[in-house]
Structure formats: C-alpha cells, structure tokens
Amino acid sequence: MIAGNGNGTHRPTAREPHPAGPGNLDRDARDRASNGYERALAAANGSPGHIRPGDDFRTRAAHAGDDTAASVRPLTAPIYQGSVYAFDDPDDFAAAHGADPPRPTYSRAGLPNTSQLERAVADLEGGEDAVATASGMAAISTTFLALLGAGDHVVASSDCYSDTAALLGEGLGRFGVEASFVNTCDPEAMTRALTPRTRLVWVETISNPAMKLCDLAALATRAHRGGALLCVDNTFATPALCRPLEHGADLVIHSATKFLGGHHDLTAGVVVGRAELAARLRRCAYLFGPTLGAMDAWLALRGIRTLAPRMAWTSETALTVARFLDGHPMVAAVRYPGLPGGWQDDLARTLLPDGGGGMLAFDVAGGREAADRLLREVRLIPFAPSLGGTSTTAAYPPHDWGGPSGSDGATIRLSIGLEAARDLITDLDQGLAAVARAANPAGVSA
C-alpha cells in the first residue's frame, strides 16, 4: 500500500484536488496547505508516510523523498520525468488506462506533460483533441498509419515538405498506399485527382519552401464531397496566424520543433482534430510508439506561451525584409505570403489576416555560387537546416523541390527570428554588395 501512511494522518493523493491554490485561499487554508507541505517533508525525511524509521537503508534508498512534491503547487507545471505511474488499487489503473483521453499510466500511453501540450494545442487550433508525438514526421506518419491502409490513395500538394512527399512515395508506397501530387493552389486540379479510393488530401497552410497558399475552404468542400479528409500541415503559420479547422480542415498537423517550440531546442509533433479522429491516432501512436518525452513536451509548451508575440513580431520583420529583398538588384525573386502585389494577395488576406509568418524564400541573382557567397558573407544569419527559432537562419530547399525554372539552385529559405529588422537588412545588404562585387569586379555599381 503506497498512499496510506499507516498512522491515520491524511496525505493528499494525485487524484484529490490540490490543497494549495495561491491567491484564492484564506489564511487557515494556507496554513493547512503549508502543514501539508511540512508533513510531506517529514515523510521525505523518513517519518510518517510509507517509509518507516526502521526500514532498511536499501528500502529507504528506493523510496525516501517519494512524497515531497505531492503537496506543492508550482505555478508552472513541473517536468514529470517518470515513465510510469503508481496506483493504490488495480481498478484505478484500469480506469485511468481506459479513460478517453487516458490518464497517465505509462509513458507510451501519455504523460502529464504531453497531455498538457495536447490540450494547449487543441485549444489554440480550436480542435476537440490532439495527439503529441516525438517529431513532426512522427505526427505525419501517425496520421497516415492511423487513417490509411493498402489500396488507399492520397492527394498531396506538389509543394509539400520534401520528407512528407518521400514518406508518401517511398515509405507508404511499400504498403500499398498510392499518392498523387498536384498543384493544390488550384482546387479544380485537386478535385480531378480524387478517386473513389482517396482518403486524405494533404496540404500545407504555407508550403515549404515555395511559400504558396491554398484556398483551404474550397479544398475542404471538394475533399469532403469526394469522401476524403483534408489534413493541413500548419507548421509555418501556427494557430497564431491561421486555424485551418475554421476553414473546414479535418486535421491539423504541426512540427512543434519549429515555431510552436520556437527556440531550436526540442523535437516534437502534434496532430489536432475531432475527438473520434484523435482517438484513432492515439491508439495508433500507442501501438507504433512514436512517444514524445516529458522534457520536449514541457519545452514545447513553454515555447507556446510566447507564440503570439513571437509570430506577430517575426511576421512584421519578415515582411520588412521581404520588401527590402524585393527591391534589391541582386535578388531575382522573393516569395513571401502577403507581399503587396504578390500573386496570392487576396488569399493571404483571408487566410493570414494577422501576418504572413516568419518564413520567406528568395532567389539570388547569379545562381548557386552567388547564393553560397551571400551565405558566407552574412554575419547574423547562420546556415541551419531547420526553422522557427528565436534567431534568423538560412537554408537551401532540397535539390528536387521543383522551384521555378531559372532559380539555378539559388533559392535561399530564410526563417526570420527575433532580431531587429534593421540589423538583418544591414547584414543582407552588405552580403549582397559582396555578391555584386564578385559578379562585377570591374566595379560597376549593381
């Protein structure tokens, strides 16, 4: 028996409401709460509690301190690093395991920190439930594994993230799932690709790396008419800028490694949707095991606490940088959602009314060599193959991303961080000046 202390003194258990809520307790209640803490400390020191003074050193080494945390209420949830949870009664375990969503029993079935992250992302996306996974790709593969079987068909955006495309092609192809890649900016092209076997339509709110938008409402209507679900990878926009469920999508997928986490220090994924779909994904994640650890879940939630100001700030900076690049003679093309005069202006206003996010892509005039030179010249913008953190980073899209002809491998994808726009522009300006000098050593001004 773990919870009873054997001497009739009551000790709070995990199931009871917590006694110590700061701010809303009267003095007596505060005293009682602090007495609870004293008792727990005493228990940790080997007096009342399930450890008794006479217990062997080895027993005390296995249990001493067990109860200390039970009667404190940190303002920020702690990291529950444990992989397994204890029950006084086997029936309590069965009830916790069978609950929907399950209460913590064992890490692969869910942990307090992952549940907290799931509730937060479901809330922000406006979904009923969410499932957290060990990476964005784990969120994507769990969605596919839960909802597709041999003989099924997926219609995916021809611009979707290269590893999503690879998973659909080389990964799921082996299991008899077929995928067609179409220009989902054209809802009619998407409709033509639907077959009676199509189960999912897969798009990104802002595509990586082409920065294209799709009319999500039009795609949702057409996908549903064809008997398919619309899944939207919302990694670039985040719910701070776009909530695809409000436009008719069925599932929203995130690489929380990027803007949700926001600090380049974790790897995680989340899928949000109706409770019935989430339950199927949760079961699949439980069986296939792409479990998210407590530490990364905790970090992701900490990142989400500053998501709104980060996305507002980074959108403003990215637009300023995009405008600068757009007017620069050493830049052949700029792709940023909502760049005034851009071909998707109207869609950007509907989908992203509060800003276009932190991602932009541009082609350096002069080809790959010129782009390489720029990346070596800039002082504040390291080359780093990820995105969505506090510092600005640059990367090349994969070779086969199908960029516009004439880009000559010179497309650079920028993930704008929290630096001042002025400093980023000064840095890019001096880098582009070096590119211009190299292209024109005779010194004719570019």
Ligand X SMILES: Cc1ncc(COP(=O)(O)O)c(C=O)c1O
Q: Assess whether 108 carries a catalytic annotation.
A: yes
In angstroms, the CA 155 to CA 404 distance is: 22
Q: What is the CA radius of gyration of the chain?
A: 26
Minimum Å gap between C-beta 268 and ligand X is 7
Q: Assess whether 212 carries a catalytic annotation.
A: no
Catalytic one among 108, 302, 368, 437? 108
Minimum Å gap between C-beta 157 and ligand X is 11
The residue among 198 and 257 lying less far from ligand X, judged by its C-beta, is 257
Query: What are the tokens at 28?
Result: 């007596």
Minimum Å gap between C-beta 413 and ligand X is 10
The residue among 162 and 306 lying less far from ligand X, judged by its C-beta, is 162
Minimum Å gap between C-beta 266 and ligand X is 9
The residue among 191 and 411 lying less far from ligand X, judged by its C-beta, is 411
Binding site for ligand X (CB under 6 A): 135-137, 161, 204, 208, 233, 235, 255, 257, 267, 269
Q: H/E/C letters for each residue in the chain?
A: CCCCCCCCCCCCCCCCCCCCCCCCCCHHHHHHHHHHHHHHHHHHCCCCCCCCCCCCHHHHHHHCCCCHHHHCCCCCCCCCCCCECCCCCHHHHHHHHHCCCCCCCEHHHCCHHHHHHHHHHHHHHCCCEEEEECCHHHHHHHHHHHHCCCCCEEEEECCCCHHHHHHHHHHHHCCCCEEEEECCCCHHHHHHHCCCCEEEEEEECECCCCCCECCHHHHHHHHHHCCCEEEEECCCCHHHHCCHHHHCCCEEEEECCCCCCCCCCCCCEEEEECHHHHHHHHHHHHHHCCCCCHHHHHHHHHHHCCHHHHHHHHHHHHHHHHHHHHCCCCEEEEECCCCCCCCCHHHHHHHCCCCCCCEEEEEECCHHHHHHHHHHHCCCCCECCCCCCCCCEEECCCCCCCCCCCCCCCEEEEECCCCCHHHHHHHHHHHHHHHHHHHCCCCCCC
Minimum Å gap between C-beta 231 and ligand X is 11
In angstroms, the CA 117 to CA 114 distance is: 5
The residue among 171 and 366 lying less far from ligand X, judged by its C-beta, is 171
Please give the backbone phi and psi of residue 258, each rounded to the nearest 5 degrees, phi first: -95, -115
Minimum Å gap between C-beta 209 and ligand X is 9
Minimum Å gap between C-beta 147 and ligand X is 17
Q: CB nearest ligand X: which residue?
A: 136
Q: Assess whether 15 carries a catalytic annotation.
A: no
Amino acid present at 293: G
The residue among 70 and 131 lying less far from ligand X, judged by its C-beta, is 131
The residue among 134 and 220 lying less far from ligand X, judged by its C-beta, is 134
Query: What are the tokens at 352?
Result: 């992203």
Minimum Å gap between C-beta 117 and ligand X is 14
Minimum Å gap between C-beta 313 and ligand X is 20
Catalytic one among 103, 212, 243, 258? 258
Query: Nearest CA to 238 among 381, 359, 382, 393?
Result: 359
Please give the backbone phi and psi of residue 294, each rounded to the nearest 5 degrees, phi first: -60, -40
Catalytic one among 92, 152, 215, 233? 233
The residue among 269 and 357 lying less far from ligand X, judged by its C-beta, is 269
The residue among 191 and 208 lying less far from ligand X, judged by its C-beta, is 208
The residue among 163 and 377 lying less far from ligand X, judged by its C-beta, is 163
Catalytic one among 37, 85, 161, 396? 161
Sort 333 into a burial class: Cβ within 10 Å, 0-12 / 13-18 / 19+: middle
The set of catalytic residues is: 108, 161, 233, 258
